[in-house]
Amino acid sequence: MPEADALVICLPLTDETRGLIGESEWALMSESAVLVNVGRGPIVDESALFHALREGTLHAAGLDVWYNYPIDEPGRSATRPSEYAFRELDNVMMNPHRAGAPHTPETESLRIRALARLLNAAARGEPIPNRVDLGLGY
């Protein structure tokens, strides 16, 4: 981490990944480092991230995931993404769940081909490509 210019988080949230990145990790990184979280919010300690960004021990962050999500449609306008005011920091870009591939004809074609490979493998009794281990929590 001391040599990293950027830390990109693409992990699922599991017992092993919750709070994986926090104060001790920021202390290892350069003040010019950037965090991008496209995995799950709670992988990064919320308080430690806010304070590192506010104090300048982390240069900037791009957050595609939140810490708090509304439980229903009416809650969308009243649920803040975090207990901390990340939106007030000039070094934070918040953009909820936009990191996925753009919805283009090319992307849809790739998705359909991947799904066909998966279904054909299942039909033939072969190992499923990209199988998810639900026991790990994702």
Q: Looking at the domain assignment, is residue 23 inside a domain?
A: yes
Same domain assignment for residues 38 and 86: yes
Same domain assignment for residues 69 and 17: yes
Return the pLDDT at 79.
Answer: 78
For the cut 80, the answer to whether the pLDDT of residue 133 exceeds it is no
Same domain assignment for residues 65 and 129: no
Same domain assignment for residues 112 and 75: no
- For 107-121, write each residue's pLDDT tens digit: 888 888 999 999 999
Return the pLDDT at 9.
Answer: 94
Q: Could you tell me the residue range of the domain that residue 126 belongs to?
A: 105-136
Same domain assignment for residues 70 and 11: yes
| Reported confidence tier of residue 22, pLDDT bands at 50, 70, 90 | very high
Mean confidence (pLDDT) of the chain: 87
Same domain assignment for residues 39 and 20: yes
Q: What is the pTM of this model?
A: 0.74
Same domain assignment for residues 37 and 79: yes
Same domain assignment for residues 30 and 88: yes
What letter does residue 127 receive in the DSSP assignment?
A: P
Q: Which residues contact 84 (CB under 8 A, 6 or more apart)?
A: 46, 47, 50
Burial class (CB in 10 A: 0-12, 13-18, 19+), 20: middle
**How many domains does the structure of the chain reveal?**
2
For the cut 70, the answer to whether the pLDDT of residue 102 exceeds it is no
3-class DSSP state of 130 = coil
Taking residues 9-25, report their average pLDDT.
Answer: 91
Same domain assignment for residues 89 and 109: no
Q: Looking at the domain assignment, is residue 1 inside a domain?
A: no
* Element containing residue 74 per DSSP (H, E): none
Q: Looking at the domain assignment, is residue 78 inside a domain?
A: yes
Same domain assignment for residues 35 and 72: yes
Q: Looking at the domain assignment, is residue 100 inside a domain?
A: no
Q: In what order do the strands lie in the sheet with 34-37?
A: 6-9, 34-37, 60-63, 92-94
Same domain assignment for residues 73 and 121: no
More confidently predicted of 42 and 77: 42
